[in-house]
């Protein structure tokens, strides 16, 4: 170990935590110093894989270690807010898995507390670190698509059915974070409708709508009750359109040289005011770097460089605002809910 390595502790070694532990252990600029979980089986695996790390079932050990720089929270979603706040108040930089909280007020509290204690707060919005999503963002910001009209995301599969959260909270954070990131603007109003087929009061399918301050709209379709396995995001612009398909191995991004523009002037015939454009299809080359490795490295770099994380507390708050408002809309029959109401 060298003095400039960021010492990291991972709490939660069940589903996703082992992947985070693996990546932080392999980063040259980090040291996996702690592994924490309540399950003895998970702890035994950690002892075998990471003999250099302190393995414990007591979160207080991590909080009390002044030499520990950062804590990664990968526990069950309802515990994210409490464990994240304890880490921040202990003076640790905090990487909290998505969603950062279940209520916008709690997400705001984490953001405010991190600013008060002067530590980094980052949320695990993994797709924001996907090379294909980065390419989409590059195309949009460079004006290649022209004015962006709208975007829509599908995240569908048969399973995994949850009992402690609905499809919106289980699947939605991925695509809401990407839509927010690509838009680069504040979500101002949302609505959502869903249906419960397998369990009472747990939606298996949800359709959501997001309106942004700049006028762009986003649509969300999430379900664990679908014959298709789909992870796809489409962005429609006036000059070009781009599709991200995460199920494709060698065609993650497809750029369509297609578009539609209008003079917005009243003419007598359709062709006089609407111009449709049809061109070529382009498939950009996308790197094979693991998004999770990129994300973990970014967290370490932000600590070392005193930089603001891409998926910082503000980013986390905007995602939770959308999900929280959609949850309200679901309970109120699809009523449009302004994020300012939260």
- Last residue of a domain, which of 79, 94, 126? 126
Angle at 73 between CA 88 and CA 199, to 5 degrees: 125
> What DSSP state is assigned to residue 118?
T
Q: Is residue 315 part of a domain?
A: no
Q: Which residues contact 192 (CB under 8 A, 6 or more apart)?
A: 168, 206, 207, 208, 209, 220, 326, 327, 329, 330, 334
At 29 the pLDDT is 94
Average pLDDT of the chain is 94
Q: 133 is written with which tokens?
A: 């999503």
Q: What is the mean pLDDT of residues 264-288?
A: 77
Cβ atoms of 156 and 123 within 8 Å: the answer is no
296 lies in a domain? Answer: no
The length of the chain is 342
Check residue 328 and give its pLDDT. Answer: 97
Domain count, the chain: 2
- Give the tokens for residue 119: 């530590």
Residues 242 and 254: their CA atoms lie apart, in Å, by: 6
Residue at which a domain ends, from 71, 105, 126: 126
∠143-146-147 over CA atoms, to 5°? 115
- Tell me the C-alpha distance between 255 and 23, whole Å: 32
pLDDT, tens digit, 9 for 90 and up, residues 283-294: 999 988 999 999
Whether residue 339 contacts residue 322, with contact meaning beta carbons closer than 8 Å, is answered with yes
For the stretch 30-59, pLDDT in tens is 999 999 999 999 999 999 999 999 999 999
Burial state string for 205-239 with b = 16 or more CB within 10 A and e = fewer than 16? bbbbbbbbeeebbbbbbbbbbbeeebbbbbbbbbb
Q: Give pTM, 2 decimals.
A: 0.92
CATH number of the domain residue 178 falls in = 3.30.360.10
The CATH number of residue 94's host domain is 3.40.50.720
Model confidence at 2, pLDDT cuts 50, 70, 90, reads very low
For 221-266, the pLDDT digits (tens) are 999 999 999 999 999 999 999 999 999 988 999 999 998 887 666 6
């Amino acid at each position: 170990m060298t003095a400039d390595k960021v010492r990291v502790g991972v709490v939660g070694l069940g589903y996703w935590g082992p992947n985070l532990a693996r990546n932080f252990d392999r980063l040259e600029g980090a040291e996996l110093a702690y592994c924490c979980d309540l399950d003895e089986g998970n702890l035994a695996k950690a002892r075998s894989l990471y003999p250099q790390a302190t393995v414990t079932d007591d979160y207080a050990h991590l909080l009390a270690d002044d030499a520990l720089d950062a804590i990664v929270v990968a526990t069950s979603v309802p515990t994210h807010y409490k464990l994240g706040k304890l880490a921040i108040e202990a003076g640790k930089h905090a990487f909290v898995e998505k969603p950062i909280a279940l209520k916008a007020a709690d997400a705001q509290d984490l953001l405010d507390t991190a600013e008060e204690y002067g530590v980094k707060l980052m949320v695990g919005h993994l797709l924001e670190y996907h090379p294909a999503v980065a390419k989409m963002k590059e195309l949009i910001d460079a004006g290649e698509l022209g004015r962006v009209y709208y975007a829509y995301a599908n995240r569908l599969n048969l399973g995994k059915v949850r009992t402690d959260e609905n499809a919106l909270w289980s699947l939605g954070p991925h695509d809401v974070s990407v839509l927010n990131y690509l838009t680069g603007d504040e979500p101002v109003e949302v609505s959502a409708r869903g249906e419960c087929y397998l369990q009472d009061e747990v939606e298996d399918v949800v359709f959501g709508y997001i309106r942004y301050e700049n006028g762009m709209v986003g649509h969300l379709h999430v379900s664990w009750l679908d014959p298709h396995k789909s992870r796809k995001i489409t962005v429609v612009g006036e000059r070009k359109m781009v599709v991200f398909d995460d199920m494709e191995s060698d065609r993650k991004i497809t750029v369509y040289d297609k578009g539609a523009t209008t003079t917005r002037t009243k003419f007598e015939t359709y062709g006089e005011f609407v111009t449709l454009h049809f061109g070529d299809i382009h498939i950009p080359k996308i790197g094979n770097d693991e998004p999770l490795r990129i994300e973990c490295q970014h967290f370490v770099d932000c600590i070392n460089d005193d930089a603001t994380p891409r998926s910082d507390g503000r980013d986390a708050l905007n995602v939770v605002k959308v999900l929280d408002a959609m949850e309200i809309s679901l309970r109120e029959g699809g009523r449009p809910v302004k994020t300012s109401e939260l």
